[in-house]
Amino acid sequence: MVRCGTAVGTPDYISPEVLMSQENNSCYGRECDWWAVGVFLYEILVGETPFYAESLVGTYGKIMNHKNSLSFPDDIEVSKNAKDLICAFLSHREVRLGRSSVDEIKQHPFFANDQWTFDTIRDTVAPVVSELSSDIDTSNFDDIEDEKSHVETFPTPKAFTGNQLPFVGFTYFREDHCDWINGLHLCSLQSDDLQKKLQNLEEQLKNEMQVKDQLENKIRTSNSCLEKLSKQLDEEMNGRRILETTLCQLEREKALLQHQSVENTRRAEQEAEKKRSLEKEVNSLRDQLEDLKKKSESSHASIEKNVHLQKQLDEATEALKAGAEEASRHRKAQAEMTKQIQQLETSVRDLQNKNSTLENSKLDLGRELINLQETLEMERRACSQGTEAIADLQGRISGLEEEAKELKSTLTYAQEEKRELQEKLAHLEKEKSSQEINLTYKLKVLQQDLDQEQAEHKAAKARLTDSSKIYESIEEAKSEAMKEMEQKLQEERALKQQLENKLLEVEKQSSILDCDYKQAQQLLEDLSRTKEKLTEEVKNLNLQIEQESQKRSQMQKELKTQGQEVIALHTSEKQLKQELNHLLDLKQNLQKQNQDLLMERQNAEGQIKELQDQLESEHYFTTLYKTQVRELKEECEEKNKLYKDLQQRLHELQEERDSLASELEVTLTKADSEHLARSIAEDQYSDLEKEKIMKELELKEMMARHKQEIGEKEATIISLEEANRTLTSDVANLANEKEEMNNKLKETLEQLQRSKEEERHISAMKISFEKQLQIERTLKIQAVNKLAEIMNRKEVRGVHRHSDMDIHRKEKENRKLQLELRSEKEKLNDIIIKHQREIEELQAMVAEDSQLRMEMQMALASKDSDIEQLRCQLTSLSVHSLDSTSISSGPDLDAEDGYPDSRLEGWLSLPLKNTKRFGWEKKYVVVSSKKILFYDSEQDKEKSNPSMVLDIDKLFHVRPVTQTDVYRADARDIPRIFQILYANEGEFKKDQEFPAEPLSTGDRSSYICHKGHEFVPTLYHFPSNCEACTRPLWNMFKPPAALECRRCHIKCHKDHLDLKEEVIAPCRVNYDVSMAKNLLLLATSREEQQKWVGKLIKKIPKKPPAAEHTPRPSQSLSPLSPRLSPRNSPRLSHRPAIKGQSSKASPTTKPR
pLDDT > 60? residue 1125: no
Among candidate residues 120, 146, 166, the one where a domain is terminated: 120
More confident residue, 369 or 960: 960
pLDDT band of residue 90 (cuts 50, 70, 90) is: very high
Task: Give me the mean pLDDT over the 774-783 stretch.
Answer: 74
pLDDT in tens, 464-502: 666 665 656 666 766 777 777 778 778 877 887 787 777
959 membership: H or E segment, kind and range: strand 955-960
pLDDT > 80? residue 10: yes
pLDDT in tens, 561-598: 877 877 888 887 788 888 778 878 877 887 787 787 78
pLDDT band of residue 88 (cuts 50, 70, 90) is: very high
253 membership: H or E segment, kind and range: helix 191-295
| Backbone angles phi and psi of 903, in degrees to 5 | -120, 145
Q: What DSSP designation does 1032 have?
A: B
Query: Which has the minimum average pLDDT: 136-150, 850-864, 970-984, 1117-1131?
Result: 1117-1131
In this prediction, residue 39 carries a pLDDT of 95
pLDDT in tens, 674-715: 778 777 877 878 778 777 888 888 788 788 878 888 888 888
How far is the C-alpha of 551 from the C-alpha of 544, rounded, in Å? Answer: 10
| Backbone angles phi and psi of 848, in degrees to 5 | -60, -45
pLDDT > 70? residue 329: yes
113 and 12 within one domain: yes
881 burial (CB, 10 Å; 0-12 / 13-18 / 19+) is middle
987 and 1122 within one domain: yes
* Residue 615 maps to a domain: no
Task: Give me the mean pLDDT over the 15-44 stretch.
Answer: 85
pLDDT > 80? residue 504: no
pLDDT > 70? residue 1150: no
pTM: 0.32
929 and 865 within one domain: yes
Q: What DSSP designation does 1042 have?
A: E
CA-based angle 601:603:607, to the nearest 5? Answer: 115
Indicate the Cα dihedral angle 509, 512, 513, 517, nearest 10°: 170
Among candidate residues 105, 120, 135, the one where a domain is terminated: 120
- 112: domain range? 1-120
- For the chain, the average pLDDT equals 75
* Residue 461 maps to a domain: no
1076 and 1061 within one domain: no
1060 and 1076 within one domain: no
| Exposure class string for 1060-1069: b at 16+ Cβ within 10 A, else e | eeeebeebeb
Q: Give the list of residues 6+ apart from residue 804 with CB closer than 8 angstroms, or none.
A: none
CATH of the domain at 1039: 3.30.60.20
1086 and 943 within one domain: yes
pLDDT band of residue 190 (cuts 50, 70, 90) is: low
pLDDT > 70? residue 1149: no
993 and 915 within one domain: yes
In this prediction, residue 82 carries a pLDDT of 93
pLDDT > 60? residue 887: no
CATH of the domain at 78: 1.10.510.10
Contact 1122, 868 (CB under 8 A): no
How far is the C-alpha of 1090 from the C-alpha of 1097, rounded, in Å? Answer: 11
pLDDT in tens, 50-80: 998 877 888 888 898 888 889 998 888 899 9
Task: Give the C-alpha distances (Å, rounded to integers) separating 737 from 208, 581, 732.
Answer: 10, 57, 9
* Residue 1101 maps to a domain: yes
* Residue 693 maps to a domain: no
Task: Give me the mean pLDDT over the 96-105 stretch.
Answer: 88
1076 and 1058 within one domain: no
Which range scores top for mean pLDDT: 734-743, 821-830, 988-997? 821-830
More confident residue, 892 or 195: 195
In this prediction, residue 117 carries a pLDDT of 86
Q: Give the list of residues 6+ apart from residue 893 with CB closer than 8 angstroms, or none.
A: 876, 880, 1141
974 and 1085 within one domain: yes
CATH of the domain at 1117: 2.30.29.30
Task: Give me the mean pLDDT over the 323-328 stretch.
Answer: 76
74 and 30 within one domain: yes
pLDDT > 50? residue 1144: no
1089 and 1112 within one domain: yes
pLDDT > 80? residue 626: no
pLDDT > 80? residue 1050: yes
How far is the C-alpha of 558 from the C-alpha of 565, rounded, in Å? Answer: 10
pLDDT band of residue 271 (cuts 50, 70, 90) is: confident
Give the CB-side neighbour count of residue 638, counting CA atoms within 13 A.
14
* Residue 520 maps to a domain: no
pLDDT > 60? residue 153: no
* Residue 271 maps to a domain: no
Q: How many domains does the chain have?
A: 3
1114 and 975 within one domain: yes
pLDDT > 60? residue 187: no
* Residue 1136 maps to a domain: yes
More confident residue, 730 or 1073: 730
More confident residue, 681 or 1090: 1090
* Residue 659 maps to a domain: no
Among candidate residues 120, 143, 168, the one where a domain is terminated: 120
| Backbone angles phi and psi of 957, in degrees to 5 | -160, 145
